[in-house]
Amino acid sequence: MNIETSRADAAQATEQDVRVGVYVCHCGGNISDVVDTEAVAEALSHHPDVAVARDYVFMCSDPGQSLIADDIMAGKVNRVVVAACSPSLHEMTFRKALERAGLNPYLYEHVNIREQVSWVHKGDHDRATRKAIRLTAAGVEKVALQDPLESIAVDVIHHVAVIGGGIAGMSAALAVAERGIGVTLIEVADALGGRVAEMRRVYPSGEQGADLIREMREQLSAHPLVEVRLRTRVKAMDGHVGKFRLVLNDAEGADSEVKAGAIILATGYDHYRPAEGELGYGTSPAVMTLPEFMALLAGQDRADGPIKVGQRRIRSIAFVHCVGSRQIEGIHAPQADGKINDYCSRVCCTATLNTIREVQQRDPDIAIFDLHKDIRTYGRGHEELYLDASRAGALFFRYPDEEPPVVVANNGSVVVRTRDILTWGEELEIPADLVVLATGLMPRDISDLIAMRKLPVAADRFLQEVHPKLRPVEMAVNGVFLAGACQGPMDIGEACAAAQTAAVKAAILLSKPVIALDPFVARVQEERCDGCELCLAECEYDGALTMVEVEPAGSGVRRATVNPALCVGCGACAAVCPTRAINVAGWTLDQFDAMVDAIMADDIEAMAKAERRARSFTPLAVSISGGTQQ
């Protein structure tokens, strides 16, 4: 688009009379079963700035978007408010609809009347409807004061840095390079491969983990666009999307720099390590973790025959699931940060059953006892492992969530005490030569990287994506993507799929000479700024806000200035500015004032009419087994 033409259109839109279109979504009943959506539209139709007010069953559908586009192209509206579900789901959907219709996509406001109204006020339809009207009215007031904004253009470095050289990082690096983009793969260890390189047999193919890694290493080493940096740590990271700068420290001590337009994090996971004495671990040689047992099997001379620990033949093994996963507060001891691991590590059940099958194939006479809360073999075909293990003689016992098994050492062997739900709570004592603890997955400690870019972390300590369905590998930090188990427990297939997705996202981002960023960043009105520097003390993003010398009336003074590529639009600076010199584009203080006034208003004609209609609203009744459910 021609820049001068775009600016002219924006100026023309600013000079036009404000004509707001309000579109209220039923969300297929998610909203309209509680909120009288027709009443909301009718109420807003009386607002002096509203030219069109409609309600529709699914505004996000193609026909719903067409309603908006048709009103824009017919000249009926020049600003849009959609009252629907969360903006994280469909804000971009409606912005693109505006853009297709020829309207600046930022002359738009999304009002959430699902999560903020219908889902939290199901028992009070009248007040829910009145609340929806107030929130939508606030949206109208905000968009009426909205200036047409322009995206921020950022130049691009066509290079990707991948941090982490496990199977996810290797897969991401290959996928990026195959799209014609240079990539630097950074790994702290002596070799690529990560956890997969340690694995003996991979389900369901039965391949050796080392063989999988070897093939990928060869592809990486042969690719001209891939640079591999082993024994290297990221010492510092700055810049912004399109222009990141990473300072790397090699094992020899020399620092170097890598510049990249995007970053893919593939830092992997660590195995949970039981505390001293937890289920006998560390106090009895007859207790070990599943990874330790798998390493023991890999070190055996033969692929069949008896299994030994030292010189002692193992004739019975008890496997205990969910060690370090699905923990319960008050029952399990917290980690060093005071938190418990209440999440499911997902892959442990399949890994345990796969190991049980290997043991049974090596020594068919060995006795296998499996103690679990429940079996979660969620992957395609993984249930066959459970069936095969059971048919081969493994005995399965289900212990209560709140009563983990107790392991008692007994002269070199152990006894496992538990209560079995499957036999109506029967108390059991299981003698075993070996206890194997199926330990869960924990995020690797990358606190240094997290601090460098203020990366978002979920409650389970894994890195957090923007949205698990709509933006599953993207982070809130623009230009940073996730690959593999750094964002949660995954099997090999899932980790590689996430890596491929991250690579494609990075390639799309870098496919053009410039990147267009949202314009919702801080702006400074220089004539109002008095140089007090309170905003600098409040800003947490290095380089986003600085002071520069200016010369009004011939005298040099300092004024705040914003780097739009580094600003995240948090508004902390605007909150502390005593002269109101700083505003966030699209969220100005004047807009906030207008929204608050609209929410607090109680005497406008539209509100009164809506409340009268809301009182007569009868929600949909659904017949269930002869009765009715509201």
pLDDT tens readout for residues 13-35: 444 689 999 999 999 999 999 99
Looking at the structure, tell me whether residues 18 and 98 fall in a common domain.
yes
Query: Is residue 465 located within the same domain as residue 407?
Result: no
Together in a domain, 3 and 145: yes
Contact 139, 181 (CB under 8 A): no
Q: How many CB atoms lie within 10 A of CB 26?
A: 19
Position 626 confidence tier, pLDDT thresholds 50, 70, 90? very low
Q: Which amino acid is at 39?
A: A
Q: Residues 199-236: pLDDT tens digits?
A: 888 888 888 889 999 999 999 999 999 999 999 999 99
Give the domain-ending residue among 515, 533, 553: 515
**Residues 124, 175: one domain?**
no
Would you say 82 and 110 are in contact if contact means Cβ atoms under 8 Å apart? yes
Three-state secondary structure call for residue 381: coil
Q: Position of tokens 């929600």? A: 619
In a shared domain, residues 486 and 497: yes
**pLDDT at 405 exceeding the cut of 70:** yes
Give the distance from CA 591 to its chain's centroid. Answer: 30
Mean pLDDT, residues 503-531: 93
- Average confidence (pLDDT) over 362-388: 94
* Residues in Cβ contact with 391 at an 8 Å cutoff, skipping those fewer than 6 apart: none
State the pLDDT at residue 253. 75
- With cut-offs at 50, 70 and 90, classify the pLDDT of residue 247: very high
- The CATH number linked to 225 is 3.50.50.60
Provide the domain limits for residue 11: 1-151+587-630
Question: Is pLDDT above 50 for 469?
Answer: yes
Rounded Cα–Cα distance for residues 150 and 174 (Å): 35
Residue 158: pLDDT band with limits 50, 70, 90: very high
Q: Which of 222, 33, 27, 10 is nearest to 102 (CA)?
A: 10
Tell me, yes or no, if the pTM score tops 0.75. Answer: yes
Same domain, 139 and 203: no
Percentage, residues of the chain above pLDDT 70 = 92
Q: Do residues 498 and 429 share a domain? A: no
pLDDT-derived band at 10 (thresholds 50, 70, 90) equals very low
| The pLDDT value given to residue 467 | 85
Q: Which of 31-35, 119-123, 305-309, 389-393 has the lowest mean pLDDT?
A: 305-309
Please spell the DSSP secondary structure of 101-145, one letter per residue.
TTS-TTSEEEEE-IIIIITT-TT-HHHHHHHHHHHHHHHHHHHHT
- pLDDT computed for residue 619 by the predictor: 43
Tokens of 440: 């869960």
Judge if 221 and 331 occupy the same domain: no
Q: Are residues 412 and 291 in the same domain?
A: yes
Same domain, 214 and 311: no
Tokens of 58: 């699914």
Phi/psi at 454 (nearest 5 deg)?
50, 55
Task: Determine contact, residues 258/184, Cβ cutoff 8 Å.
Answer: yes
- pLDDT tens figures, 28-72: 999 999 999 999 999 999 999 999 999 999 999 999 999 999 999
Domain count, the chain: 4
Are 425 and 287 contained in the same domain? yes
Q: Do residues 39 and 106 both lie within one domain?
A: yes
